[in-house]
């Protein structure tokens, strides 16, 4: 009965996992079916538990516990497990008291019981001797690994468009004021607005994933719901790759810095290189290497230069500007080797800062389209369900002066 109860409990856990998955996927029909199945399993668990409770309440037969066959306490006399344990305890007590005779008598019982047990033992280590009936802790729940996946689109301008391509007009900021003139002079005509045209063209990005129908039917997990979450992560990665390419355009004019002067370098660029309107709304983007270097810097009073961001539980700020940390896998550091008689390897981490909503725009022609079919394509012929994801994107730099970069040499 214990084995039956364990099987029912494992089945209940599987149903509960399916209820969670269908609830997250909004599958009300699947949730209701799982809920009905859970009620049946709970009723069966209650019946098995009642039988086990009744068996436990039955008194043991007179004369103590029944003897287990195999071991002999004397010539032809059985030794049950209770007698063997008692003899083992007596051995310990006899040795402590120095009673050699009592020790030998009880040790003989233990030796003969062990000898018979070893001759016909059942162990879970050997499948045929009992291992096959020992349940295994096998879980089919998909444990999704936690990894940093910062959507850079949250820091940039995002525009949802309805056309495959298009243009945007950007003006040129005036740099001079009006011209002084005398009374009744002809008004000068020496300046005018200048405009620039920026073009975008969205491109298709997609993935096709065939899934066996046998797998979908035999698994207890909401596999299609998991695949949908998996595809959503790939959407973020695709957008990040586009925006990282635009950030890399700043590398050509990046200012070199070391841990000794990076703070002074960043202050000067914020104060001088960026327009005050941009600097006031600036944001830092660093990878793990760059963040680690900045996180170890102290001010003159031995206080960390990176301060907690009151608007984010685990966020940091530098010079009152938020710092966003992305993984090295998304934003990689660069390694170079000097071409000298004694080559040395140098690693640099990028630090980008500015108002990225002004720097570049991500164009989305449509949200990620996720579709599946079990009759179209080759799905019907291969007894599979084909899952397809398509997204249409482009990214363009609008104001190259709205952001800057520092190349930080790591120690």
For the chain, the maximum distance between any two Cα atoms, rounded to a whole number of angstroms, is 138
Q: HSE (CB half, 13 Å, CA atoms) of 346?
A: 14
pLDDT grade for 168, boundaries at 50, 70 and 90: very high
Taken as a whole, the chain contains a residue count of 411
Whole-angstrom Cα distance, residue 136 to residue 134?
Answer: 7
DSSP states along 36-69: HHHHHHHHHHHHHHHHHHHHHTSPPPTTSSPPPS
Phi-psi region of 302 (alpha: psi -120 to 50; beta: other; left: phi over 0): left
Q: Please report how the helices 2-24 and 223-248 are oriented relative to each other, as an axis angle in degrees rounded to 10.
A: 50
Name the residue with higher pLDDT: 333 or 8.
333
Question: What's the chain's average pLDDT?
Answer: 83
Q: Which two tokens stand for residue 390?
A: 């398509």
pTM above 0.85, yes or no: no
Whole-angstrom Cα distance, residue 249 to residue 397?
Answer: 9
Whole-angstrom Cα distance, residue 391 to residue 236?
Answer: 11
Q: Do 247 and 283 touch, CB atoms closer than 8 A?
A: no
Q: Do 385 and 323 touch, CB atoms closer than 8 A?
A: no
Q: Do 304 and 295 touch, CB atoms closer than 8 A?
A: yes
Q: What are 328-387's pLDDT values in tens digits?
A: 999 999 998 877 777 788 999 999 999 999 999 999 998 889 888 888 888 888 999 999
pLDDT in the model for residue 122: 62
Please give the order of strands across the beta sheet that includes 203-212: 157-160, 360-373, 384-397, 203-212
């Amino acid at each position: 009965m214990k084995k039956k109860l364990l099987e029912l409990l494992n089945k209940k856990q599987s149903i509960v996992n399916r209820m969670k998955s269908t609830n997250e996927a909004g599958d009300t029909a699947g949730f209701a079916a799982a809920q009905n199945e859970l009620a049946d399993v709970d009723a069966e668990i209650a019946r098995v538990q009642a039988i086990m409770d009744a068996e436990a309440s039955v008194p043991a037969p007179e004369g103590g516990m029944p003897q287990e066959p195999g071991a002999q306490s004397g010539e032809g006399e059985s030794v049950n497990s209770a007698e063997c344990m008692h003899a083992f305890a007596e051995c310990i007590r006899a040795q402590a008291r120095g009673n050699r005779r009592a020790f030998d008598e009880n040790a003989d019982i233990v030796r003969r019981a062990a000898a018979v047990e070893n001759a016909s033992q059942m162990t879970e280590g050997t499948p045929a001797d009992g291992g096959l009936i020992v349940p295994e802790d096998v879980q089919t729940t998909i444990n999704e690994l936690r990894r940093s996946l910062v959507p850079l689109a949250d820091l940039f301008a995002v525009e949802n468009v309805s056309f495959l391509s298009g243009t945007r007009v950007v003006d040129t900021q005036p740099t001079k004021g009006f011209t002084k003139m005398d009374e009744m002079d002809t008004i000068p005509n020496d300046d005018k607005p200048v405009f620039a045209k920026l073009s975008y063209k969205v491109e298709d990005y997609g993935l096709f994933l065939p899934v066996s129908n046998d797998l979908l039917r035999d698994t207890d997990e909401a596999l299609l719901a998991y695949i949908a979450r998996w595809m959503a992560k790939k959407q973020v990665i695709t957008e990040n790759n586009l925006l990282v390419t635009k950030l890399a355009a700043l590398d050509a004019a990046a200012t070199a810095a070391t841990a000794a002067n990076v703070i002074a370098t960043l202050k000067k660029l914020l104060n001088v290189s960026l327009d005050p309107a941009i600097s006031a709304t600036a944001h830092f983007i660093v990878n793990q290497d760059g963040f680690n270097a900045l996180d170890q810097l102290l001010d003159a009073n031995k206080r960390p230069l990176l301060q907690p961001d009151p608007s984010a539980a685990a966020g940091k700020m530098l010079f009152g500007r938020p710092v966003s940390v992305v993984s090295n896998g998304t934003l990689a550091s660069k390694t170079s080797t000097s071409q000298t008689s004694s080559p040395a390897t140098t690693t640099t981490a990028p630090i980008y800062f500015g108002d990225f909503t002004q720097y570049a725009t991500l164009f989305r022609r449509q949200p990620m389209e996720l579709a599946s079919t079990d009759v179209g394509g080759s799905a019907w012929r291969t007894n599979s369900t084909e899952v397809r994801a398509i997204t249409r994107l482009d990214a363009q730099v609008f104001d190259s002066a709205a952001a800057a970069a520092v190349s930080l040499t790591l120690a």
